[in-house]
Amino acid sequence: MTDRSDRASWLRIPNVASPAPAIAAMWEESKARLGYVREFLKMPFEPERLALFQGYVNRLMRSDDCALPGHERELISLVVSLENRCEACIITHAGALQAHGMEKHTVDVLLANWRRAEISGREHALAGFASKLTIDPGMACEADMNGLREAGLSENEILETVQIVAIFNATNRLNSGLGIKVDGGAFDAFRA
């Protein structure tokens, strides 16, 4: 096995050491928000592509005009990541749920089996929808949206939910396909 200490992934190329200005700004935002630079941002992606991708994630997860509250956005992201078994995202989103005020015990149960967690009916509906759309997207149907409506979600909240499920399935596949490591800072934030 080769030493991976200088690499963020299985790619046989080192981390980006001197990022382009757009990427450097993402590093600073990551450090300010999380206390560390996410390994994903150290990948040698073409800067404009990474900026577009990360911009979409940021818009869905951190803009002032999001339809869903932050803890629901993080719950959706966590369930998608659990179903995809994406270690880097699981740890990051579990820590983010705690930062949004979810009790550590509840987060622990979510990690073990989200279906048994003591969360609201609306949160269960969001988690179930995220799970189904992740595991078997070809089976998605209008009845799934009706379940979200019955749980109290508006049309704009449903639209945002689908976007979050979609972007984190993409992120999970990038992380898993490239073998991106879980950053030590993510573990520290999760354990805190």
Residue range 145-189, pLDDT digits in tens: 999 999 999 999 999 999 999 999 999 999 999 998 887 777 676
Is residue 55 domain-shared with residue 137, that is, in the same domain?
no
Q: What angle do CA 72, 73, 79 make, to 5 degrees?
A: 85
Whether residues 87 and 172 share a domain: the answer is yes
pLDDT band at 6 (very low <50, low <70, confident <90, very high): low
Structural domain for 28, as ranges: 21-62
* In a shared domain, residues 113 and 167: yes
* pLDDT (0 to 100) of residue 74: 98
In a domain, 135, yes or no: yes
Clarify whether residues 49 and 89 are in a common domain: no
**Which of these three, 62, 91, 117, is where a domain ends?**
62
> Looking at the domain assignment, is residue 146 inside a domain?
yes
Output DSSP code: residue 6: T
CB 118 within 8 A of CB 109: yes
User: In terms of domains, do 53 and 79 share one?
Assistant: no
Task: Let me know whether 100 and 25 are in one domain.
Answer: no
Q: In 3D, which of 62, 86, 71, 46 has the Cα closest to residue 168? A: 86
- Can you read off the two tokens belonging to residue 9? 């992934």
**Is 1 a member of any domain?**
no
Domain boundary among 62, 95, 111: 62
Of the candidates 95, 98, 100, 96, which has an alpha carbon nearest to the alpha carbon of residue 69? 100
Please indicate, yes or no, if residue 97 is contained in any of the structural domains: yes
**Counted domains in the chain:** 2
* 126 found inside a domain: yes
- Would 116 be classed as within a structural domain? yes
Spatial CA neighbour of 150 closest among 185, 131, 126, 118: 126
pLDDT in tens, 123-156: 999 999 999 999 999 999 999 999 999 999 999 9
Residue 9 within any structural domain of the chain:
no
- Judge if 102 and 187 occupy the same domain: yes
pLDDT beyond 50 at 108 = yes
pTM for the model? 0.91
Q: 103 and 175: one domain? A: yes
The torsion angles phi and psi of 95, rounded to 5 degrees, stand at -60, -40
The verdict on 57 and 74 lying in the same domain is no
Residue 102, domain member (yes or no): yes
Q: Judge if 49 and 82 occupy the same domain.
A: no
| Domain match, 140 and 172 both | yes
180 and 119 housed in the same domain: yes
| Residue 95's CATH number | 1.20.1290.10
